[in-house]
Amino acid sequence: MTDVLDPPVQLPPPPPSHEMLEEHGHDEHHGPTGILKWITTTDHKIIGLSYTVTSVIMMIIGGAFAEIIRAQLASPNGTLVSLSQYNELFTMHGSVMIYLFVGPFAFGGLANIMVPIQIGAPDMAYPRLNALSYWLYLTGAITMLSGFFTAGGAANFGWVAYAPLSNSVNTPGSGADLWIGGLLLTGFSAIFTGVNICATVFYLRAPGMTMFRMPIFTWNMLVTGILILLAFPVLTAGLIMLYCDRHFGTHIFSVQGGGVPVLWQHIFWFWGHPEVYILALPFFGMATEIIAVFSRKPVFGYKGMVFATLTIAALSLGVWAHHMFTTGVVLLPFFSIMSLLIAVPTGIKIFNWIGTMWRGEIWFSTAMLMAIGFLITFLIGGLTGIYLASPPLDFFTHDTYFVVAHFHSVVMALLMAAMGGLYYWGPKITGYLLNERIGKMQFWFLFIGTQIFTFPLYVLGLEGMPRRVAIYPHDPQWKTLNDWSTFGAILIGISTILFVVNVAVSWKKYPSGDNPWDAQTLEWFTTSPPPHHNFYRLPQIRSERPTWDHNHPEHRSLTHGKHPELTEDGLEKVHSS
Amino acid sequence: MQTPALPPQGATVRARRWRHLRRAVALPLAALALSGCTIPSFYASEGATSSSKSVYHLWQWFSIGAVIIGGFVCILVAYAVLRYRRKGDHIPRQSQYQLPLELAYTIVPILIVFGLFAATLVVENKETANPATKVTINVNAFQWGWKFTYPGTNAFVYGQTTQNPEMIMPAGENVHFNLTSSDVIHGFYVHDFNFSRYALPGVRNEFTILAQNEGTYFGQCTQLCGLYHSLMYFRVKVVSQSQYAAWIASFNNPADEAAAKAAAKTTYQQTSSVVPTHGSTTKFGR
Ligand code: HEM
Ligand SMILES: [Cu+2]
Ligand SMILES: [Cu+2]
């Protein structure tokens, strides 16, 4: 084990062995095995793992589309793909990444596995609904991607499907219908997962696990769940309207029948902006946990962090029209100030992350490197987002590569946090560590590649290169910057390959023990992998770090910067007043 | 595999840390010194209209803010990362709250945000103002081209994709634009105006532009509008007011006018039947 980990510290003794093990895992031994077990399971850990694996495969598919896009743009008159194939590629790249990778990875994958364990619950509140979510997601993903095998090709109206381009006159192919159908299915899977997460957090917390003792990741997932419940039904309704317009002769979004095309944008972004935070909050949570654990400190400003998350969620419901500044039909100042204000809670989070590292003992494991990479890359994406919240600057950069660069800084940051989450929680899920040396190589390829990939795109946008163009013959000088960007994309591609290699190389090789990182939250108290219903026994839960308190009883959080008063037997003195 | 490498201790660490720090500070300072006293452009440009210049200055101020805030945060992160790397099995102080500090980094950003918002409002109000104008141009976007008509005159310009239809407008005068679309949503974007606006079906989008510098500027559709979106170009030629008047007058020959209209009509019909619809796999440039 020591040959993969290089902690310059002594690991703490593992949590006490599980002698008091009650006979519990009966259905584990008598239930079906193999593929039948996988299909019939309602265990949140297996469902979560299926989600994780499926969504990582989606990331690889979406990444492959991205590499083709970049290869096409390597010359001003690229002929690698046709104009219509190019439209399909970026549409499906965006759709796969947003709908089938980031979201499902976060709330179907890691959250599904971790939230119940973090709060000491035996499973999700509705295990069968959870299984249904996964199968809906898988079906939706296959449905959406099968568009490529239809005569007209896959959907090609961008991942936002603006009406009236997405109506049956302008996009008659069945690829578009499969896109709508696939998105409806994954949308329902998200809604059911949202229900499940909220119910689990509200009803299945272990004794002692009060709301303000929940780990930040669980907090963020709760808020994500609430946002899902508020936002996704709107998308579902919109998609049904779009489908009716396409096939049942309604005219909700078409001018000819008295409809309003911009209505689609309102509906789409009323879901779409909260969606941005539905995607981001889980990864904020992962990064928070990782930074605290590898700095050996509690999360700095825990309550401020929760407050910031709630503020972000509340504001995110009132900013959708910042995607519509250039439509000329929205109230600019209102949406501008609301969008600018989101920078405040986001800034609080960034400073809290730094505060957590401050005066810590930082261990640069792969997970921690990924979290720091997330922090820096997200900072860049956040700062460039502030420009876009200012309507005059948005008029100037909207629909150019500046926007593509901005949101790739953000999503690549999320990708880093996702990788950090896999390196951090992988051992908990599987019982085995990933190779740290390959992991660090992966990090540097990903981090440097991301900056080389996005920086030229910012400049290209400012020089006027529009997004979603397959060729740029009138301005061939843009080739140099595009080539740099493509080079960065190749580095990112290599990092993804390194990840796959790492999984293959480390397969069942480096047993991790229950708590390899000296981590703090409840999931690290149980075995790795956890038993069927997660816990044989629970520690006392007296803070948001029960495992840490158990392992380091003399190093509890100094909540207000002071050492707690201790009684003779070393316990914190309780003031009853 | 690899042996656990203990980080170097004591003097070497300090020396290396100092070198890191020096480099981190020296670079931005050097950049600042090189740029002299003029505010750097941050890759944007001044543009050719009165509001493009205000937008450019707004851009610069936002960028200065972003560089200062981003630099500050990066320095904090770099300091934390270099200073607090784990050296032994030591458990640091478990401090968790620091209320005055937390309040500070809540309140200061709020103030900054309102500053940015105030600056935004000034430029935005200028850019979206609708002063009285003498010249009006109707811009109509369609799959895949542009039509510019000049109400009250016979002048018009029409062209598809790479034909680069050239819109003529006078310099030094407020010009009112009515922007419409006949099919899907398009984006009217002129880089040197630092400005874009959607052309929406069923909506007339109005704005005013005061071009200050004569010249020819490149424009392109920025909102995905189907197969030939990549090629939906146009040009804007800003000419002096007398040249503009002469150009308008050149359309007053009725014979020319009819011929031009007929030509436009046929090109439109021809191409709209020839242009393949979606789902085709026509290769461009082959
Ligand atoms: C290997 C890393 C990636 C590369 C090289 C890449 C490349 C690109 C490029 C070049 C475009 C612009 C296409 C165009 O406008 O013509 C694009 C669009 C997009 N990308 Fe990525 N991308 C990557 C990762 C991601 C990730 C991780 C996400 C989301 C989680 C993502 C989401 C999107 C979205 C939503 C669009 C917009 C699609 C549209 O315009 O409809 N990308 N990507
Ligand atoms: Cu948004
Ligand atoms: Cu277009």
Each residue's pLDDT tens digit, B91-121: 899 988 889 999 999 999 999 999 999 999 9
The verdict on residue A11 lying in a domain is: no
Enter the tokens of residue A95: 């759709």
Domain with A111, as residue range(s), is 45-555
Chain A environment of B202 (Cβ under 8 Å): 255, 260-261
Are the beta carbons of B110 and A344 separated by less than 8 Å?
A: yes
Residue A566 has pLDDT above 80, yes or no: no
Check residue B282 and give its pLDDT. Answer: 26
The verdict on residue A487 lying in a domain is: yes
Q: Are residues B106 and B154 in the same domain?
A: no
Closest CA to A311 of A346, A278, A336, A350: A346
Check residue A257 and give its pLDDT. Answer: 85
Of the pLDDT bands very low, low, confident and very high (cuts 50, 70, 90), residue A256 is: confident
Q: Structural domain tally of chain A?
A: 1
Check residue B37 and give its pLDDT. Answer: 55
Q: Which residue of A has its CA nearest to B125?
A: A392
Of the pLDDT bands very low, low, confident and very high (cuts 50, 70, 90), residue A33 is: confident
Q: Are residues B273 and B178 in the same domain?
A: yes
Looking at per-residue pLDDT, the higher value among A557 and A312 belongs to A312
Check residue B10 and give its pLDDT. Answer: 42
> Does residue B145 contact residue B159 with C-beta atoms inside 8 Å?
yes
> Does residue A125 contact residue A201 with C-beta atoms inside 8 Å?
no
Collapsed DSSP state (helix, strand, coil) of residue A218: helix
Of the pLDDT bands very low, low, confident and very high (cuts 50, 70, 90), residue A301 is: very high
The reply to whether A28 touches chain B by the CB within 8 Å rule is: no
Q: Are residues B143 and B268 in the same domain?
A: yes
| Residues with a beta carbon under 5 angstroms from ion ligand 2 | A 273
Are the beta carbons of A357 and B195 separated by less than 8 Å?
A: no
The verdict on residue A563 lying in a domain is: no
End-to-end CA distance of chain B: 53
Of the pLDDT bands very low, low, confident and very high (cuts 50, 70, 90), residue A572 is: low
Angle made by CA atoms B197, B144, B256, in degrees to the nearest 5: 100
Collapsed DSSP state (helix, strand, coil) of residue A20: coil
Are the beta carbons of A468 and B224 separated by less than 8 Å?
A: yes
Instruction: Give the relative orientation of helices A216-247 and A111-118 as an angle to the nearest 10 degrees.
Output: 140
Check residue B98 and give its pLDDT. Answer: 87
Collapsed DSSP state (helix, strand, coil) of residue A58: helix
Looking at per-residue pLDDT, the higher value among A343 and B2 belongs to A343
Q: Are residues B123 and B187 in the same domain?
A: no
Q: Are residues B201 and B240 in the same domain?
A: yes
The verdict on residue A268 lying in a domain is: yes
> Does residue A136 contact residue A227 with C-beta atoms inside 8 Å?
no
The count of C-alpha atoms lying within 13 angstroms of the C-alpha of A2, restricted to the half-sphere facing its C-beta, is 8
**DSSP class of residue A311?**
H
Cα-to-centroid distance, A258 and ligand 1 (Å): 34
Chain B environment of A388 (Cβ under 8 Å): none
Q: Are residues B211 and B246 in the same domain?
A: yes
The verdict on residue B139 lying in a domain is: yes
Collapsed DSSP state (helix, strand, coil) of residue B92: coil
Q: Are residues B252 and B139 in the same domain?
A: yes
Which residues of chain B, if any, have pLDDT below 50?
A: 1-15, 33, 36, 266-286
Question: Mean pLDDT throughout A193-217?
Answer: 95
CATH number at B205 reads 2.60.40.420
pLDDT tens by residue, A94-129: 999 999 999 999 999 999 999 999 999 999 999 999
The verdict on residue A562 lying in a domain is: no
The reply to whether A468 touches chain B by the CB within 8 Å rule is: yes
Q: Are residues B223 and B150 in the same domain?
A: yes
Nearest CA to ligand 1 atom 1: A63
Distances in Å between the Cα of A242 and the Cα atoms of A223, A251, B117, B143 are 29, 9, 36, 21
Question: Mean pLDDT throughout A409-433?
Answer: 96
Position B63, amino acid: S
Are the beta carbons of A164 and B185 separated by less than 8 Å?
A: yes
Which residues approach ligand 1 with their CB closer than 6 A? A 63, 66, 69-70, 90-91, 93-94, 97-98, 101-102, 158-159, 404, 408, 411, 415, 453, 467-468, 489, 492
The verdict on residue B8 lying in a domain is: no
The verdict on residue A71 lying in a domain is: yes
Size of interface A-B (CB pairs under 8 A): 319
Check residue B253 and give its pLDDT. Answer: 73
Q: Are residues B208 and B175 in the same domain?
A: yes
Which of A89, A404, A448 maximizes ligand 1 atoms within 8 Å of its Cβ, making it the mutation to test the pocket? A404
The reply to whether A464 touches chain B by the CB within 8 Å rule is: yes
Q: From the CA of A324, which ligand is nearest?
A: 2
Ligand 1 atom having least distance to the Cα of A467: 15
Check residue B267 and give its pLDDT. Answer: 45
Encode burial over A52-75: b for 16+ CB neighbours within 10 A, e otherwise: bebbbebbbbbbebbbbbbebbeb
Which of A70, A401, A403, A408 maximizes ligand 1 atoms within 8 Å of its Cβ, making it the mutation to test the pocket? A408
> Does residue A461 contact residue A401 with C-beta atoms inside 8 Å?
yes
Would you give the distance in Å from CA A80 to the centre of its chain? 32
The verdict on residue B50 lying in a domain is: yes
Question: Mean pLDDT throughout A260-266?
Answer: 95
Residue A562 has pLDDT above 90, yes or no: no
Check residue A567 and give its pLDDT. Answer: 55
Q: Are residues B149 and B120 in the same domain?
A: no
Domain with B189, as residue range(s), is 135-283
**DSSP class of residue A571?**
P
**CA atoms of A411 and A430, how far apart (whole Å):** 26
Angle made by CA atoms A73, A78, A82, in degrees to the nearest 5: 105
The reply to whether A359 touches chain B by the CB within 8 Å rule is: yes
Residue B157's H or E segment, with its range, is strand B156-160
Are the beta carbons of A6 and B124 separated by less than 8 Å?
A: no
Check residue A21 and give its pLDDT. Answer: 42
Collapsed DSSP state (helix, strand, coil) of residue B158: strand
The verdict on residue A316 lying in a domain is: yes
pLDDT tens by residue, A355-396: 999 999 999 999 999 999 999 999 999 999 999 999 999 999
The count of C-alpha atoms lying within 13 angstroms of the C-alpha of B189, restricted to the half-sphere facing its C-beta, is 29
Check residue A140 and give its pLDDT. Answer: 97
Q: Are residues B102 and B68 in the same domain?
A: yes
The verdict on residue A240 lying in a domain is: yes
- How many residues in chain B? 286
CATH number at A236 reads 1.20.210.10
Tracing tokens 């560089």 back to the chain, one arrives at B67
Q: Is the pTM of this model over 0.95?
A: no
Closest CA to A117 of A417, A548, A529: A529
**CA atoms of B220 and B235, how far apart (whole Å):** 8
The reply to whether A207 touches chain B by the CB within 8 Å rule is: no
Of the pLDDT bands very low, low, confident and very high (cuts 50, 70, 90), residue A475 is: confident
Closest CA to A458 of A477, A489, A482: A482
Task: Write phi, then psi, for B94 (nearest 5 degrees).
Answer: -95, 45
